[in-house]
Homo-oligomer: A and B are copies of this chain.
């Protein structure tokens, strides 16, 4: 098939497919007599794989190292290995999400845990100690200066 059809079928742009070939993610493709690229059907699968891995958070460099250059030579074992790899990818994604979520929840908790009229300085110190970098614990003076953190003001506005 021509690149246009492959683009339609895979959902990727022409330029993106050519780009992948250029950077060595796709092996050099056969040409018709007129110079047009002629893709085999499994090119769709290949692109889907690349896109999936990419969307799972892997860079093109990583994918290049990960994905076998030739789909047709895949056999039972290789396929299984690849699928297991895909599970690993998903697990990696899950871990990323969990970490993001944990960070957010922690931050929310720190902001929300501000009872009215209660020791602001103490709250500020706890907030500081929960924020990421460890060096922050030395910022005890900062805690005093930032004791207004979490103090409620005017009604919310969204941008």
Contact = CB atoms under 8 A, between A and B. Distances in A.
A139 B76 contact: no
A41 B139 CA distance: 7
Interface string A109-148: 0011000100011011101110111011011111111111
A99 B54 CA distance: 12
A145 B108 CA distance: 22
B87 A104 contact: yes
A42 interface: yes
A48 B145 contact: no
A152 B75 CA distance: 7
How many copies are assembled?
Answer: 2
5 contacts: A45-B149, A48-B136, A49-B132, A56-B104, A75-B154
Interface of A: 8-11, 40-42, 44-45, 48-49, 51-53, 55-57, 65-66, 71-84, 86-87, 90-91, 93-94, 96-101, 103-105, 107-108, 111-112, 116, 120-121, 123-125, 127-129, 131-133, 135-136, 138-159
